[in-house]
Amino acid sequence: MDLNSVTPYEMLGGDAVVRAIVDRFYRLMDEEETYGELRALHEDDLSGVRAGLTEFLSAWLGGPKTWFDRKICMMSLHRPLPITPEVARQWSEAMARAISDQPDVDEKLAVAMTHRLMDMAMSMVNE
Ligand code: HEM
């Protein structure tokens, strides 16, 4: 295998693992009181954001690029939302747990991904 052509998406386990992370993330957000403030910013029906986050993560990791066809800027999308440091912390914690709950993910990749996503969440703080 040509290591130069291996994407983080492939290293992670592809579509099945991206979907499992997104599933776990929104389940945690939906079911645990500790993520209540984050949950309250979302609509009751999470199917749209579920599909959106799956597409975004796939493209971001070097997998299928359908997210880019939609030409949505992630920062502009979140700018109208009241994102406090506490809400960004809730997003980051739920995502860190969703990633670390996946059984067969390379640990270094999991840690690197988690930290970059946390940086992204923190950069969205606007209140
Ligand atoms: C920092 C805390 C965050 C909060 C409070 C938050 C909240 C939200 C909310 C309420 C929506 C629905 C917006 C709408 O439908 O108009 C949304 C959509 C979305 N968020 Fe976040 N988000 C956060 C961080 C992030 C981060 C760090 C990422 C990327 C890694 C992300 C990726 C997405 C995606 C892909 C969508 C769906 C876009 C679509 O397809 O319509 N979010 N977010």
We report the CATH number of the domain holding residue 102 as 1.10.490.10
Report the pocket of ligand 1 as residue ranges, CB < 6 Å.
38, 41-42, 48-49, 52-53, 56, 74, 77-78, 81, 83, 87-88, 91, 117, 120-121, 124
Q: Is residue 49 part of a domain?
A: yes
Q: Is residue 1 part of a domain?
A: no
Return the structure tokens found at 114. 């988690």
pLDDT digits (tens, 9 = 90+) for 89-101: 999 999 999 999 9
Query: Amino acid letter at 1?
Result: M
Domain count, the chain: 1
Q: Is residue 4 part of a domain?
A: no
| pLDDT at residue 1 tops 60 | no
C-alpha count within 13 angstroms, C-beta hemisphere, residue 71: 0
Q: Is residue 47 part of a domain?
A: yes
Distance CA 102, CA 98 (A): 7
| pLDDT at residue 5 tops 90 | no
Q: Is residue 97 part of a domain?
A: yes
68-97 as b/e: b if 16+ CB within 10 A: eeeeeeeeeebeeeebeeebbbbbbbbbbb
Protein residue with its CA nearest to atom 19 in ligand 1 = 49
Q: Is residue 101 part of a domain?
A: yes
Mean residue pLDDT of the chain comes to 95
Neighbours of 39 (CB within 10 A): 19
Q: Is residue 66 part of a domain?
A: yes
Q: Is the pTM above the cut of 0.85?
A: yes
Please check whether residue 115 is in contact with residue 30, taking contact to mean a CB–CB distance below 8 angstroms: no
Neighbours of 1 (CB within 10 A): 6
Q: How far away, in angstroms, is 78 Cα from ligand 1 center?
A: 6
Distance CA 65, CA 84 (A): 30
Return the structure tokens found at 17. 């693992």
Q: Is residue 5 part of a domain?
A: no
> Whole domain around residue 62: which residue ranges?
10-123
